[in-house]
Amino acid sequence: MNMGMRWGYISQLYEGSNRMKRKHKMLNLATVLVLLMTVSGGVGSLASSKDILPQDVGTEAGNEYNMVTVVDVSAAGEIIPNDRKIDWSTTGIPGGIPERTSVCATIDSAVYGNGTTDATDAIQNAIDGCPDGQVVYLPKGTYIVHDTIHLYDYDTLRGAGPGKTMLKHVGGYSRSMVDMRGLIYWQISGLHKTYPVLQANKDSKVITLSSTSGIKPGDILLINQLNDNKLVDPVGVEGKCTYCGYEGGDRVLGQLVEVTALAGNQITLNLPLHWTYNTNLDPWAYQVDASAMIRQAGLEDLTLTQDNPEVEFMIEMDGAQYSWIKNVEIKNIQRRAMWIINSLQNEIRECYVHVGIDGYGRDRGYGIFLDLHSSNNLVEDNILSMIDGGGVMTGGGASGNVIAYNYLHDILFDDPWWLIASPSINHAPHPKMNLWEGDIGIKAEADIIHGSSSHNTIFRSQMKGWQSDTITTRNNAVEIAAKNTYMNVVGSVLGTPGKSNRYEVLPGQPYDDWSDKVIWVLGVGSGVNDPNVAATLLRHGNYDYVSNSVVWDPVIANHDLPDSLYLSAKPEWWCRETPWPPIGPGVVGYHNDIPAKRRFEGLPCTQTTEMTLKGIPADGTIYLTWEVNASLPITSTWEISYDGPPGDQPSPVTGLPEPNRAYTLTGLTNYVRYSITLTAMLDSTPILTDTVRVMPSDISIHLPIVIKRP
């Protein structure tokens, strides 16, 4: 039984989500006590590769390294304390992205896909006239648009695939190219309907308000509180971030949730809370009507581009819920490729985001930005290349998101000598409880430009700390600046062999950010020193290319890391060519490819269970059924071929439309074993295939007797 986890010693489990591909039971971890232990000595160059504890390392220039130690007070000896993590299996769309097969409209590519005719109105009118849950289909072609394409509830816009269907913006400024934009921002900041929160505790789905008058099931609540200006602080090196969060930056810690039931002054939520809200900090619940959200909208299988820097946000999700962006290429980015604000439980997957068109600097050429309390979104299996903004960035109170198995390559900045964040764990206050798992990046950085963050986790990721010889400064694997506390970095691989040359930099230590290529830069930078960064950091089971060893926290007895913190097993979209898990201690070579990297490099990625074909024998007949765990273009067809004496349907059977999941072969010869191959075809090109061997027979076996069919 492949559960993808090795947590057999746990007696109590959280109730997990019911989705098949991410069904997961998270642990109720015992609370542990965090304290400081100072470990004398630095890290030298160790010749052998072995597991070590911090006190085993050598000396480096007389430096003294502080190591956070977690005291094991639970029988299980858990690694990440419960107050530092959440149930990350709740991210994304419950049940996954829906497969919509009914096409309400196909845009005429000869008329509108010729690269010259403006297609804006034709596409928007088709979307507006499409019944809920159906698809507007854009065949292969280049479609010119001059204004934003709006997706509303239950809309889906789908192309024939990236590079085949292209939406190109022409004709002057536009805020966004495609949006899923509701009214949540205006309801929060304009209507400002707030309720004092009397009780709201972490991991609970029940909150108590002073009143629930006017709140209905299906409504959204933004729960936040005043900053304490200690842990949660919107003041960075550029001053107070008044546009981060709401109320002029005074409430930057929060979470979005949906109301499912009411009983008196108590409200039941669809998600557990990420935080215990302090009544001394005046917590509020802002009400947002269900109708203000954009729900169940999808954008799939196409390319978005522009030739001139005219569109600010290629895709904008503002108040989106249960919506998705899948298999979309975005290139020639002016400001941001995807801006996700005020959005809850959406999915971004299998996308390719690359190339800025207006420089790589302050808010230019950014990739995917989770902002303004966006909560429980899943950003998974994407490629980000030749962009800025960390590739993927969290800020503005983004909470409880999972950013996993993304490949970040060639992240750029206008100052070509500076290694920029890639990914950006924090760029605006106060992102918390976000999980970065299985990503391959360059430098994981939480900065102090606009303020604080806390309680974020990097797990089984690779951060190289070096990109190219043309970048000559800040070549570090992990950079956590002042005011970024209670971080967890577990089971990751850090640095680059032959490049990384220093283990750690702490406040007060000499540091040359040109010559030192460091694994850990903690509480240092931008002229602000903060020893609390290292004092609250949990790091355990990380392999680095300075010590050439796995470094464990000496007081955490448990060295048995789970395969994932949000998946219960190897996902169905995983490549057969790469191991699961791909990164971390105990993995051969410590780090391996992830599917997004293999796609970027043009390497094969055979998914584990893309399609399963089954054949049931009968008298002269084989009943075929198949399951598909991949998204197929609507224009694809099925082909069935078989080896053996011909039946009523000569081999091959071609042209079966994509929605089919069953077919019957008749007139076959009994007692002959047929080899039957099912292939999904797109423009005469096979894209999926599976084979079964089945023998038709007029005998049914019902143990313990054999019955001859009449």
pLDDT attached to residue 19 = 29
Helix (H) or strand (E) holding 356: strand 352-356
What pTM value is reported for the model?
A: 0.81
- Please state which of the ranges 207-211, 244-248, 536-540 shows the lowest mean pLDDT: 244-248
Tell me the mean pLDDT in the region 657-673: 92
The token pair at 112 is 């509108």
Residue 6 pLDDT exceeds 50: no
Residue 639 neighbours by CB distance under 10 Å: 18
Residue 184 pLDDT exceeds 70: yes
Residue 335 pLDDT exceeds 80: yes
pLDDT attached to residue 70 = 36
Tell me the mean pLDDT in the region 500-525: 97
Tell me the mean pLDDT in the region 7-20: 26
Average pLDDT of the chain to the nearest whole number = 87
How many angstroms separate the CA atoms of 420 and 408, rounded? 12
- Please state which of the ranges 111-125, 247-261, 308-322, 649-663 shows the lowest mean pLDDT: 649-663
Residue 41 pLDDT exceeds 80: no
Q: How far is CA 42 from CA 39, 52, 146, 535, 543, in A?
A: 8, 13, 59, 16, 16
In a 10 Å sphere around its CB, with 0-12 CB exposed, 13-18 middle and 19+ buried, how is residue 656 labelled?
middle
Q: For residue 427, is the peptide bond before it cis, meaning its omega torsion is within 30 degrees of 0?
A: no
pLDDT attached to residue 199 = 98
Phi, psi of 643 (to 5 degrees): -100, 130
Taking a C-beta distance cutoff of 8 angstroms, is the pair 457, 565 a contact? yes
Question: Residues 6 or more apart from 182 whose CB is under 8 A from it?
Answer: 292, 293, 294, 318, 319, 320
pLDDT attached to residue 57 = 43
pLDDT attached to residue 628 = 87
- Indicate the pLDDT class of residue 15, thresholds 50, 70 and 90: very low
Bridge-based pairing of strands 174-181 and 311-318 is: parallel
pLDDT attached to residue 309 = 96
pLDDT attached to residue 635 = 85
Q: Find the largest Cα–Cα distance for the chain.
A: 90
Q: For residue 659, is the peptide bond before it cis, meaning its omega torsion is within 30 degrees of 0?
A: no
- Please state which of the ranges 158-172, 531-545, 594-608 shows the lowest mean pLDDT: 594-608
Residue 688 pLDDT exceeds 90: no
Taking a C-beta distance cutoff of 8 angstroms, is the pair 408, 368 a contact? no
- Indicate the pLDDT class of residue 213, thresholds 50, 70 and 90: very high
Q: pLDDT tens digits for 336-366?
A: 999 999 999 999 999 999 999 998 988 899 9
pLDDT attached to residue 66 = 35
Residue 186 neighbours by CB distance under 10 Å: 13
How many angstroms separate the CA atoms of 58 and 48, rounded? 13
pLDDT attached to residue 52 = 52
- Indicate the pLDDT class of residue 608, thresholds 50, 70 and 90: low
Picking from 660, 666, 692, the residue whose alpha carbon sits closest to that of residue 678 is 692
Residue 625 pLDDT exceeds 50: yes
- Please state which of the ranges 336-340, 508-512, 613-617 shows the lowest mean pLDDT: 613-617
Tell me the mean pLDDT in the region 191-210: 97
- Indicate the pLDDT class of residue 521, thresholds 50, 70 and 90: very high
Tell me the mean pLDDT in the region 126-146: 97
- Indicate the pLDDT class of residue 42, thresholds 50, 70 and 90: very low
The token pair at 193 is 């309907």
pLDDT attached to residue 699 = 67
Taking a C-beta distance cutoff of 8 angstroms, is the pair 266, 207 a contact? yes
- What length does the chain have? 710
Residue 434 pLDDT exceeds 80: yes
**Eight-state DSSP code of residue 476:** -
Q: Which percentage of the chain shows pLDDT scores above 90?
A: 78
Residue 547 pLDDT exceeds 70: yes
pLDDT attached to residue 632 = 79
- Indicate the pLDDT class of residue 5, thresholds 50, 70 and 90: very low
- Please state which of the ranges 228-232, 276-280, 465-469, 632-636 shows the lowest mean pLDDT: 632-636
pLDDT attached to residue 17 = 29
pLDDT attached to residue 147 = 97
pLDDT attached to residue 702 = 39
How many angstroms separate the CA atoms of 185 and 204, rounded? 26
Tell me the mean pLDDT in the region 671-690: 88
Ordered by where they begin, the domains of the chain are 184-292 (2.40.30), 611-702 (2.60.40.10)
Tell me the mean pLDDT in the region 363-385: 97
pLDDT attached to residue 274 = 98
pLDDT attached to residue 638 = 94
Q: Which percentage of the chain shows pLDDT scores above 70?
A: 87
Residue with tokens 């577990």: 490
Residue type, 562: P
